[in-house]
Amino acid sequence: MSHGDLEGKIVAFDFWPACENCVLYEACKTKPRHPAYPHSWHWGKECATFADGYLITRSWVGTDAIGHAHTGCKSYQVAPQHVSEPQIHHRLYLELAHERRKLEGEMEALERRQVWSRNEEDFHASLFKRYRQVLKQQDALRSAAEDARPLAVAVNE
């Protein structure tokens, strides 16, 4: 299975991984790298919605044809003209997402304990407080980017 080199990139709302938007498309026209060529892939993604598209935080691309061996292309990599590099607000969002995952891991580790000391309770409370702050910051980043996009464009005739 491939990740498509999509993580941390911005894609249009109508983007979908396919042979046609792979960097290897021209080479595969003469010698395909998988039995399903040409093909649109099954795509699993975790993303944040911004005004300019989806910011992909996690991606996996592949397929299986029912009754056949796995036919996914392990070489799929999205061509650069189909993605955008993240801007400052996207990069900040990604940094906060990394911090959020770290906080979740720390809280989960504490929550697996059956007995908590007062220090552990206080520590969990501080982690959860920061977790809520991170979520608010991420929401604000998505909202600020959305607010920057004009809702309508006037056309003079």
pLDDT digits (tens, 9 = 90+) for 58-70: 988 776 555 555 5
pLDDT score for 144: 74
pLDDT category at 133 given cuts 50, 70, 90 is very high
pLDDT score for 65: 54
How is residue 25 written in tokens?
Answer: 């498309």
Cis peptide before 38 (omega within 30 of 0): yes
Cβ(88)–Cβ(130) under 8 Å? Answer: no
Distance of alpha carbon 63 from alpha carbon 42, whole angstroms = 5
pLDDT score for 57: 92
pLDDT digits (tens, 9 = 90+) for 73-111: 778 889 999 999 999 999 999 999 999 999 999 999 999
pLDDT score for 152: 41
Cβ(38)–Cβ(57) under 8 Å? Answer: no
pLDDT category at 41 given cuts 50, 70, 90 is confident
The region, left, alpha or beta by phi > 0 then psi within -120 to 50, assigned to residue 130 is alpha
Angle at 115 between CA 110 and CA 118, to 5 degrees: 80
Q: State which H helix or E strand residue 58 sits in.
A: strand 53-62
pLDDT score for 36: 73
- pLDDT average, residue stretch 121-139: 97
Cβ(54)–Cβ(16) under 8 Å? Answer: no
DSSP 59: E
pLDDT score for 39: 76
Cβ(48)–Cβ(54) under 8 Å? Answer: yes
Tell me the range of 9-13, 43-47, 144-148 where mean pLDDT is highest.
9-13
pLDDT score for 23: 92
47: helix, coil or strand?
A: strand
pLDDT score for 66: 56
Domain boundaries, the chain: 10-82, 88-148
